[in-house]
Structure formats: C-alpha cells, structure tokens
Amino acid sequence: MSEPTLSPLKTWSHLAEQRRRPSEYEIVSTNLHWHTRGDQAFDIDDKGFMNEWYREYRNESPITHENWDSFRDPDEMIY
C-alpha cells in the first residue's frame, strides 16, 4: 500500500487561508514578530532580563491593540 503524496504549499502557510496569491507586501510584512505570543516573549527564564523588559515596555504599555499583526499599511510600501 502506498501513502498518498502531499502536494507542497504554494504560499506561506499563514497566508494560505486567503485562497489567493498573497501580494509582495503581505509576504514581507505579516507575522514577522514571533515574540508577540504572550507574556513570555522568549524561550528563556521567565524572570530573564529580556522577558522582564518586554513585559514592562510592551505588555504594560499604555499604547495597546488586541492584534498588532492585523495592521496593514494602506499604501503597501515595501522598503
């Protein structure tokens, strides 16, 4: 019995649900910050310097948004 062959993704996996080819802007500007996943930004000691810094200056900042990755530049500028 042979196993079915899976076809490779034709785009980045986090953009695949759009069911269309992503623009160059979407490819280079979405989900770039892997450390925005919660209280512990890095896989090091929870009390480590970098985790404390991110907790104080990012998580407890007066400027907040429920999903920073949802921002899109209206002009779709690529630098």
Q: What is the pLDDT of residues 41-78, one digit of tens each?
A: 677 777 888 888 888 888 888 998 888 778 888 898 88
* E runs forming strands in the chain: none
User: What are the boundaries of each domain within the chain?
Assistant: 33-62
Res. 7: pLDDT tops 70: yes
**Mean pLDDT estimate for the chain:** 79
CB atoms under 10 Å from CB of 27, counted, come to 13
How far apart, in Å, are the Cα atoms of 67 and each of 6, 30, 61, 70?
Answer: 32, 12, 14, 6
C-beta separation of 56 from 75 below 8 A: no
DSSP 2: P
